[in-house]
Amino acid sequence: MDRRAFLALTVSVALCALIPTVGSSFAAVAQGTAAAKTQAIATAATAFLNTLNDEQRGAVEFPFTRQAKATAAHFKGGMRGDVDMIGEQYGRSVWSNYPVSDVLRPGLRLGSLNDKQHAAAMALLGASLSDRGYRKMQEIMGSDQALADSGTPYASGRAACTLAIFGKPGVTDLWMVQFGGHHLALNVTMLGEHGVLAPVLTGCLPAIYEENGKRVRALAAENDKAFALLASFNDAQRKWAIIDHPVSELALGPGHDGETVESIGVKASTLTAQQRAMLFDLVLEWAGIVNDTYAAPRLAEIRDGLSDTFFAWSGPTTHEPDRNGASYFRIHGPKLFIEFSPQQPGGDLTMHVHTIYRDPPNAYGRALAA
């Protein structure tokens, strides 16, 4: 982990924890800062919209529709054209771990934008995400571009990534930015001083690729931190952590919003302080994708529930250095669900992975206006 980024995020979490004890004036400052962040994202969204013509705006702007639960969206696709491709639909928004040509996403693809529009779209995403999150997004997009360059019978690469805006950008109404493609889905919902990034899909194929003469390994930190945590367990802890679960199966993938699964694995309350810190650091790879202002209260919430969080593992317990493993793991807390799942397509489990991050009570910002 980048030391400066970790320190900054640690300070943010620490400050958030102090809010209930230092008085309403400090809380008001924190809320004011968060509202200013929402306004900055809204300003970036408006700037992007202002670069578009009327037809493009009609293709990227949608109403924000609240739902008690997202639903499964079914499409027929694949090489035969009859495979059931599943996405997750919330109002007019749709995301999936299938390609955008098989599960259609609403919005504008990056490949349809001119240079000015593309720059404005990237500025909007930069305002919404942390430095960590923006780098992760770029690495995932780079992986999908490497896949596109190798030749695919479906839409892939950076040009296929799609951006949509739901609701009116601002601080008075609930609205959402959705961005993603085959191995990426980011849903950032905002209202006033509140912002949430959930649900999230991150993935890659290939996990290792070259770009501009440099070797890139996507989702490396998620893999390496998880293996390091497992390696720190004693025999009893490892016995609790190991479960029998198909490594390529997501329990709560697209279309499973609002569902629950049993809490299994080793409970964080039985871990040492160092191991709990390692678990929290692993969670940062997902919860820290969103900008630091929105991440701070979310991380404080996760930290408060850490003792009741479970870590479970299936598959090999070692991996080659500087290469992803072929193992599944899950992190399940009171308001947290994460899965890391190597995938069979491509023929090498270490090169293809799908991950899911969910904030069950607050998916699509459901708790923001409650």
* CA dihedral sign of residues 112, 113, 114, 118: negative
DSSP string, 109-122: EGGGS-HHHHHHHH
Pairing of strands 162-166, 61-62: parallel
* CA dihedral sign of residues 13, 16, 20, 23: positive
Question: Is residue 66 predicted with pLDDT exceeding 60?
Answer: yes
Amino acid 82: pLDDT: 82
In a domain, 167, yes or no: yes
Q: Return the percentage of the chain with pLDDT > 90, whole number.
A: 88
In a domain, 80, yes or no: yes
Question: Is residue 4 predicted with pLDDT exceeding 70?
Answer: no
How many domains are there within the chain?
1
Neighbours of 149 (CB within 10 A): 11
In a domain, 240, yes or no: yes
179 lies in which domain range? 3-365
Q: What is the pTM of this model?
A: 0.91
In a domain, 164, yes or no: yes
What the block records as the tokens of 96 is 């999936």
> For 212-239, what is the mean pLDDT?
98
In a domain, 117, yes or no: yes
17, 333, 135, 1 alpha-carbon torsion, rounded to 10°: 70
In a domain, 96, yes or no: yes
- Return d(Cα 188, Cα 178) in angstroms, integer: 6
Q: In the structure, what pLDDT confidence band is assigned to residue 15 with cuts at 50, 70 and 90?
A: very low
**Measuring CA to CA, how many Å separate 338 from each of 211, 223, 282, 357?**
29, 13, 10, 5
In a domain, 370, yes or no: no
